[in-house]
Structure 1
Amino acid sequence: MPEDEPQESGITRKKFIIAAGLGALAVPAAVSAAAAPASARTKQGPLTPTPMCDDGDDPTPPQMEGPYFKPGSPERASLVRPGMPGTPLTVTGYVYSLSCRPVARALLDFWQADYYGRYDNYGYTLRGHQYTDASGRFTLSTIVPGLYPGRTRHIHVKVQAPYQPILTTQLYFPGEPRNRTDMLFDPALLMDVQGGPSGRAATFDFVLRVP
């Protein structure tokens, strides 16, 4: 059985969520927001958060595929099966191009170890692929992977924009003691992980080497 090591958050997500300027009241620059009618200020309400990406962001670094990749995974956004042991984990994020544009219909193929640190090499347990939506967003429902000798906790993924080269890489968890000893660990691939009453929530945005 794998070690049950504590998780820590506190790693800042590489792509911050900011409030968009869309939907703001059209008030002349010479007029302050406080001068707008109270009724208009009331109707405006909170702005909807939107993802931000900066032109020139470094592309997501690749990593080795490892020995446990298996082609032909089923298309599904949830890898969890009823009764599966492990801490629930939801990973969300966006896929961007180098020009900071969201990549729609990008392929993401995930695979990982189970709670006990084992890979299913006969079937497709904890394996699956999905596609980003029109805004480049993806959501994965899975569990926190277990540990096995020589590695820290990680999730494998292949990401591909339509008709473009494939990025093969791995995602990591902050605060893992084995991050210091895993030869493959790359802090640029750390997810932002938060705890909650029903599991953990993680975020990570990919930047692909496409225009």
Structure 2
Amino acid sequence: MDEDNKLSRKTVLKAALAAGVVAPVALVGGPALARTTVASGKTPELTPECHDGDAPTIAQTEGPYFKPNSPERTSLVTPGTQGTRLTVSGFVFGLACQPIARALLDFWQADVNGNYDNSGYTFRGHQYTDDQGRFSLSTIVPGLYPGRTRHIHVKVQAPGKPILTTQLYFPNEPRNNTDTIFDPRLLMDVRDAGQGKEAAFDFVLNVRQTPTSTSRPTTSNPTTSNPPTSTSNPPGGTTWAAGTGYSAGVRVTYSGRGYVCLQAHTAQPGWEPPNTPALWRAE
């Protein structure tokens, strides 16, 4: 399979969000990189060479409203702040899919009316990831202004490494289709949470890391947490078959070609290895 035509699971999910459609269950069940494992308090197992397929988070323009020296804080709101409350959380990873501790994240955005505070530091602030690479920002859903869709600006920097400047976007926004800067690879996963909203996004920085483990993820798709034991594959691999439960690292053949499973799932008609690069990597 042409490596240039591969789509990562994250890309598939975000494309589905942008279009407002439902992604395949098998792609939703697994963790985004090590998100689920890290959130559970466990040490994340590596995905060798990031076989999840996630490339580093893309850069975007800084825009005209960035200001240095923002205050260090994880909340940009006060009790009197107007707007729909929004919590943005996630992780910062390097190229070996390991979380990056003490990574700097500097956020800035428009207020509910689409205005930036250029004289002070309202809706501006920086923070650092914790020891497990996590961050959390309390803010509001930014307002709209001419020419742009809703977005949040951010600079992300691993200690002593280059700065990534980019923007985060909201799914199902009408202006996503007309904003010339918008990129679906930067869509956050957003859901309603009471009177407000919660969003998630994991940054992948172009930072080389030394793997501390070569084991493949063992986390199963929640919908197929108990696959039939009779379907396990020997080292040489077997022929792909619909209805079979496959775990990450398993090898199969399909139409005479070998494939390696990238994430646990139960095969379904239409999910043949050549058709699902997010699930299978050609050898």
Alignment TM-score > 0.5, same fold: yes
1:146 is displaced (CA, Å) by: 0.1
Q: Corresponding residue for 2:160?
A: 163
- Cα 1:16–1:210 change in 2 (3 A) is closer
Moved over 2 A (4+): 8-14, 16-20, 48-54
1:196 is displaced (CA, Å) by: 2.0
Q: Corresponding residue for 2:68?
A: 71
1:16 is displaced (CA, Å) by: 6.2
- Cα 1:185–1:97 change in 2 (3 A) is same
Q: Indicate whether 1:62 and 2:79 are aligned.
A: no
Q: Corresponding residue for 1:90?
A: 87
Identity of counterpart residues, as a percentage?
Answer: 65
What stretches of structure 1 of length at least 5 have no aligned partner? 1-7, 21-47
1:198 is displaced (CA, Å) by: 2.6
Aligned residues: 179
Does the CA contact (< 8 Å) of 1:16 and 1:52 recur in 2? no
Q: Corresponding residue for 2:148?
A: 151
**Aligned ranges 1:1-211 → 2 under 5 Å:** 15=32, 48=40, 54=47, 55=50, 57-211=54-208
Distance (whole Å) between structure 1 residues aligned to residue 22 and residue 170 of structure 2: 9
1:49 is displaced (CA, Å) by: 7.3
**Cα displacement string for residues 137-168 of structure 1 (whole angstroms, at most 9, x for unaligned residues):** 00000000000000000000000000000000
1:17 is displaced (CA, Å) by: 7.0
1:19 is displaced (CA, Å) by: 6.4
Does the CA contact (< 8 Å) of 1:10 and 1:192 recur in 2? no
1:57 is displaced (CA, Å) by: 2.0
1:190 is displaced (CA, Å) by: 0.1
- Cα 1:67–1:90 change in 2 (3 A) is same
* Structure with higher helix content: 2
Q: Corresponding residue for 2:248?
A: none
What stretches of structure 2 of length at least 5 have no aligned partner? 1-18, 209-283
Amino acid at match of 1:15: A
- Cα 1:19–1:97 change in 2 (3 A) is closer
Does the CA contact (< 8 Å) of 1:15 and 1:52 recur in 2? no
1:82 is displaced (CA, Å) by: 2.2
Does the CA contact (< 8 Å) of 2:34 and 2:97 recur in 1? no
Amino acid at match of 1:102: P
Amino acid at match of 1:181: T
Does the CA contact (< 8 Å) of 1:17 and 1:49 recur in 2? no
Amino acid at match of 2:130: D
Distance (whole Å) between structure 1 residues aligned to residue 136 and residue 22 of structure 2: 20
Q: Matched residue of 1:114: which SS?
A: coil
Q: Matched residue of 2:185: which SS?
A: helix
Does the CA contact (< 8 Å) of 1:11 and 1:191 recur in 2? no
Q: Matched residue of 1:178: which SS?
A: helix
Distance (whole Å) between structure 2 residues aligned to residue 138 and residue 19 of structure 1: 14
